[in-house]
Amino acid sequence: MLRGSIVKSRSFLLLLIISLFVFMLSGCGADNQTSVTPTPEPSTPPTPTPTPEPSPETSDSGSNKPKGPVYEPIGSSLAEAYADYFLIGTIYTPNTLVDPERSLVIEQFNCITPENIMKPESMQPSEGYFAFTLPDAMLKFAEENNIKVIGHTLVWHQQSGRFLGQTSDREKAIEQLRNHITNVVGNYKGRIMAWDVVNEAVKDGAPLPADGDWTKCLRETQWLRSIGPDYIEMAFRFAHEADPDAKLYYNDYNMNDEVKAKVVHAMVKDLRAKGVPIHGIGMQGHYDTNVSIESVEKSIKMFSELGVEVSITELDISVNDASVSKSLTEEQEVRQAIVYAKLFKLFKQYKDNIVRVTFWGTIDSKSWRRDKFPCLFRNDYTPKEAYYAILDPEKYLAEHGVAEE
């Protein structure tokens, strides 16, 4: 009897424990359940809206004309007009890769010179580090469009950073000079037709001494102080070693000034007699409408007698009486155009000596002399009178009653 009671008690206790466990399990499930979003009824997916094709920005009036200037093909090309004479060049900037500048350059020119991206401090912004990205893009553009490239410039007293030549240790300065030229020229070996090796090394207004010592007429620069006058010879030899096929130039402004021209003539003659590889002289050509055509011709003849190439490397003609806040008057445009026509008539006469004529800019508003409107194209990329004067200088001069000189 006692044994039966014990069995019943155990059974009741077991049942109680099982019931309690089930109750607790049910409670935990309720506390932790996650709500389920009902599955929506199937529906037809919406038709995607196609992305519209890019189109030029239009003006507020709804016109289809793009905002900003557009270069409209002129139907003529300066490069083609002078194909039998010499190369026709202009400057290159990163903006040249973008229209309207790109289209203008491709249609009108067959040669480019970088305005700033290859100057010493741009190529070697810190000692031992060379920045080739921007020049690489220029070379790619030029090669894709069959355009020649001029390297500008290797040795200059400006835009050369804080370390190049800035030392009293001659041997260190020579190594800096060699390293810069070797790396820059060597990197583009076979791809650049000519280099402005030394730029603006002669002082203004310093007449050649009676003994012919041109070194007394050199500009005071970091290279002259750290190395001495022979830095010029070294620069040309280093450049030639880096690319034996490239033409190497001395480049300077006011080269139609007889005083400076005589110094440069003596320098180049002396260096070439020593076997220094100087192949050309660059006359920059930053003139104004009062320039003496006779003075330009005199220098071309003087330099040609040395047996070197001559190039007009940075041509622009400023209008002296231009108003900064206004565009040129018709009379001013024609006056400027007549000077351009006279110059190109002269250049054609020396086609056997002149290899290239490069303009230092395309449109007036982007010129370094923008306040004097020196370029061939207006700010809206339309050609000025100067463009047509250069296209056929003899015809332009005849039409404007300019007598033969």
CATH number for the domain that contains residue 179: 3.20.20.80
Residue 143: active-site member? no
Whether residue 12 lies inside any domain: the answer is no
Residue 10 has what pLDDT?
54
Whether residue 405 lies inside any domain: the answer is no
Residue 68 has what pLDDT?
74
Whether residue 338 lies inside any domain: the answer is yes
309: which strand partners?
280
Selecting among 101, 309, 314, 385, the annotated active-site residue is 314
Token pair for residue 112?
């480019």
Whether residue 21 lies inside any domain: the answer is no
48: which strand partners?
none
SS (HEC) of the chain? CHHHHHHHHHHHHHHHHHHHHHHHHHHHHHHHCCCCCCCCCCCCCCCCCCCCCCCCCECCCCCCCECCCCCCCCCCCHHHHCCCCCEEEEEECHHHHCCCHHHHHHHHCCEEEECCCCCHHHHCCECCECCCHHHHHHHHHHHHCCCEEEEEEEECCCCCCCCCCCCCCHHHHHHHHHHHHHHHHHHCCCCCCEEEEEECCECCCCCCCCCCCHHHHECCCHHHHHCCCCHHHHHHHHHHHHCCCCEEEEEECCCCCHHHHHHHHHHHHHHHHCCCCCCEEEECCEEECCCCHHHHHHHHHHHHCCCCEEEEEEEEEECCCCCCCCCCCHHHHHHHHHHHHHHHHHHHHCCCCEEEEEECCCEHHHCCCHHHCCCCECCCCCECHHHHHHHCHHHHHHHCCCCCC
Mean pLDDT (10-residue bins), the chain, 405 residues? 44 48 40 35 37 35 60 94 98 97 98 98 97 98 98 96 96 98 98 98 97 98 98 98 98 98 98 98 98 98 98 97 84 97 98 98 94 95 97 97 76
Whether residue 56 lies inside any domain: the answer is no
Tell me the residue range of the domain where 369 lies.
Answer: 78-399
pTM of the predicted model as reported, rounded to 2 decimal places = 0.83
* Total of domains in the chain: 1
Whether residue 177 lies inside any domain: the answer is yes
Whether residue 249 lies inside any domain: the answer is yes
Residue 6 has what pLDDT?
41
Residue 266 has what pLDDT?
98
Whether residue 27 lies inside any domain: the answer is no
Only one residue has tokens 């037809």, namely 44
Angle between helix 293-304 and helix 330-349 axes, rounded to 10 deg: 20
Residue 352 has what pLDDT?
98
Q: How far apart are CA 374 and CA 287, in angstroms?
A: 9
